[in-house]
């Protein structure tokens, strides 16, 4: 049994289809069109999602993918971007780990973003507050911040949170990794393309392979980390056509 958040469409929907293609059952989590309806922007919504997943799954889960997210160009408050992208992910990761510990070759994958390394910033306050689990402080700091910056920093914090859990999760026998996609044409990306500022920037985004990714390519990478790459733990896999390597060639 697997869980996928953000399963109603976009990358999350493709991940769900990929897992189901292997014959596995999936519990989808989304605000609509899912087995578990949940608002991951709120503490109560996350708690309710964890409880309902436990009720449906029973005693164990084999895998978890936290793919739910909000883009920075959607017009949503920047605080909402931080709440969903970071706290909506790490709370479910930590809350569902006990079920994963009883699963078959259990693994979890968080969907980060290559914007975490592509969007420069000088002030790390938001990232630090997210990693310190200070949700209200993080929400306050986002006031007046550009949504795309909040998006990038929330995804950076998520990738770091994955790596910081490597020993604890390893001791529990559960692998945890992240995938950092580049531009993929999804409803989330389309909203950014329609934005007068971010749209032109995305269209000029350098991609060495010369094309955008497909949702199915991200889903394939997630499946690789869930079931095939059994000695990969604490990794961040960039699935972005080479953009991160182009922009950060000397960073390992």
CA dihedral 90, 16, 174, 66 (to 10 degrees): -10
At residue 86's C-alpha, the angle toward residues 21 and 182, to 5°, is 55
Reduced to 3 states (helix: H, G, I; strand: E, B; else coil), residue 36 is: strand
Q: How many CB atoms lie within 10 A of CB 205?
A: 17
Tokens (6 digits) for 24: 């596995």
What value does the CA radius of gyration of the chain take, rounded to a whole number of Å?
Answer: 17
Q: How far apart are CA 49 and CA 55, in angstroms?
A: 10
Distance of CA 74 to the CA centre of its chain: 17
DSSP state for residue 84 in the 8-state scheme = I
The tokens for 83 are 């709440």
Assess whether 205 carries a catalytic annotation.
no
Angle at 139 between CA 136 and CA 142, to 5 degrees: 150
Cβ neighbours for 20, distance < 8 A, ≥ 6 positions apart: 26
The residue annotated as part of the active site, out of 2, 86, 151, 238, is 151
By C-alpha distance, which of 120, 185, 190, 192 is closest to 156? 120
Own/partner contacts of 194-201, CB < 8 Å, gap of 24 or more, are 194/73, 195/73, 197/73, 198/72, 198/73, 198/148
Distance in angstroms (rounded) separating the CA atoms of residues 152 and 17: 27
| Residues assigned a catalytic role | 151
């Amino acid at each position: 049994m697997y869980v996928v958040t953000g399963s109603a469409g976009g990358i999350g929907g493709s991940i769900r289809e990929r897992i189901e293609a292997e014959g596995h059952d999936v519990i989808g989590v989304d605000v609509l069109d899912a087995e578990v309806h949940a608002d991951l922007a709120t503490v109560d919504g996350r708690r309710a999602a964890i409880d309902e997943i436990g009720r449906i799954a029973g005693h164990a889960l084999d895998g978890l993918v936290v793919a739910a997210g909000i883009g920075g160009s959607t017009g949503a408050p920047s605080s909402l971007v931080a709440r969903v992208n970071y706290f909506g992910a790490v709370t479910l990761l930590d809350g569902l780990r006990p079920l994963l510990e009883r699963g078959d070759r259990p693994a979890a994958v968080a969907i980060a973003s290559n914007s975490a390394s592509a969007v420069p910033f000088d002030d790390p306050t938001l990232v630090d507050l997210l990693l310190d689990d200070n949700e209200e402080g993080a929400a306050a700091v986002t006031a007046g911040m550009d949504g795309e910056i909040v998006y990038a920093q929330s995804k950076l914090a998520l990738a770091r949170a994955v790596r910081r859990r490597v020993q604890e999760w390893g001791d529990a026998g559960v692998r945890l990794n992240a995938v950092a996609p580049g531009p993929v044409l999804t409803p989330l990306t389309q909203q950014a393309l329609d934005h007068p500022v971010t749209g032109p920037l995305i269209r000029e985004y350098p991609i060495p392979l010369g094309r955008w990714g497909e949702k199915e390519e991200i889903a394939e990478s997630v499946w690789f980390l869930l079931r095939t790459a059994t000695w990969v733990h604490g990794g961040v896999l960039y699935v972005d056509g080479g953009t991160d390597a182009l922009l950060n060639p000397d960073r390992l």
